[in-house]
Amino acid sequence: MEKDNQFLNWIQSNKLKGIIFDFDGTLLDISEPLDIALQETFEEYELEVDISETKKEIGGVLESVQGYPLPKIILESHDIFKFITTLNHLTYFKKLRVAAKIFTRYLDYEKEAPLFPGAVELLKELSKKYELYIISHNQSKNLQHHIEEKQIKKYFKGVYGADDLPSLKPNPEALQPVLEQFSQSNANQFVMIGDMPTDIEAGQEAGIWTIGIASGISNKDLLIEYRPNILIESLYELMDIFGIKYKKNSDSKAQESLKIKT
C-alpha cells in the first residue's frame, strides 16, 4: 500500500463527509468478462495477439467509451484505435469488426460479473458513517441492474451513469452531480476511489482526495504515475484504512466463476 500520511490523518480526524466510487473495476470485477470476450473474439478471427497487453489497452478504451452507444463508437473508431497498438497489424475494417465484437461480447458478459471480495461488507460499514455515491462511465440502467441484483442499492445516496453526467471523467465536471449537492461543504471533505487514471485525474482536478485501486484493468505501475493520495490493490486494504474488521472469505459466493455461468 502506497500511503499519504496526511490523508490518513485526515480520515482519522473525522472530516470526511462523502465517498465517490467508480464502479466497473473498482467494486465490480470485470476482469473475467473482458478476458472471455477477448479470448473468444481472437479465436473466432484466428488472431495471435498478446491478450494481457491487449487487455490493458482495451480496458482503458472501454473506460472512456463505455457510456457511448455503439454507433458513436464506430464514428470515433479511428481515434479510438490509436490506443490499441496490439491490433495495429490489422486493416482498419478488420479492426472495426474485431473491436465491435469484443465490445458487444464484453457488455453481455459484464451483466453477470461479480462484486470484488469484501465489497458488500465494505459498503455496509462505510454507509453507517459516510454518504456513498457511484459515478461511472457505465450506463445508468446497467448500474441499476447490478446494484439491485447484488442488493447494495440501499448503501448509496446517489448513482450516476454516463447518461446522467454533464461530462465524462477525467473532466472534473463529471463529479458535479455529487459535489453540487453540498454547496456548504468543502470539496476536500470528499474522496474519489477508482481503478483508472481518469478517476484519479477527475478527483484531483475537482480538488478532492483520491484513492487508486489496482484491482481492475489498470495495474499499480500505471496508477502510481498519477499520484493518488493512496494506492491500494484490494478492497480489503481499503477496509484496513477505514478500520473495518472483516473476514476475508465473506463474499466467496459472489465470486463464482463467470465461465461456469456462460
**99 phi and psi angles, rounded to 5 deg:** -65, -40
Cβ(193)–Cβ(235) under 8 Å? no
What is the model's pLDDT at position 252?
A: 44
Of 21-25, 189-193, 205-209, 254-258, the one with minimum mean pLDDT is 254-258
Nearest alpha carbon to residue 71 among 32, 104, 33: 104
What is the model's pLDDT at position 3?
A: 63
What is the model's pLDDT at position 34?
A: 92
**134 phi and psi angles, rounded to 5 deg:** -120, 130
**Per-residue burial over 39-52, b = 16 or more CB atoms within 10 Å of its CB, e = otherwise:** eebbeeeebebebe
**19 phi and psi angles, rounded to 5 deg:** -125, 125
Of 16-20, 106-110, 200-204, the one with minimum mean pLDDT is 106-110
| Distance from C-alpha of 180 to C-alpha of 44, rounded to nearest angstrom | 47
CA distance readout (Å), 139 to 65, 134, 203: 11, 12, 20
| Distance from C-alpha of 68 to C-alpha of 19, rounded to nearest angstrom | 25
Of 90-99, 195-204, 233-242, the one with minimum mean pLDDT is 90-99
What is the model's pLDDT at position 249?
A: 61
Report which residue type is found at 169.
K
Q: Residue 146, exposed/middle/buried by CB under 10 A (0-12, 13-18, 19+)? A: buried
Of 86-95, 167-176, 190-199, 207-216, the one with minimum mean pLDDT is 86-95
Is the preceding omega at residue 114 within 30 degrees of 0, hence cis? no
Cβ(119)–Cβ(27) under 8 Å? yes
The model's pLDDT over 68-78, given as tens digits with 9 standing for 90+, comes to 666 776 677 76
Cell 472501454 locates to 62
Q: Indicate whether 184 pLDDT > 70.
A: no
The model's pLDDT over 18-54, given as tens digits with 9 standing for 90+, comes to 999 999 999 999 999 999 999 999 999 999 888 888 8
Quote the pTM value: 0.88
Query: Collapsing DSSP states into helix, strand and coil, what is residue 20?
Result: strand
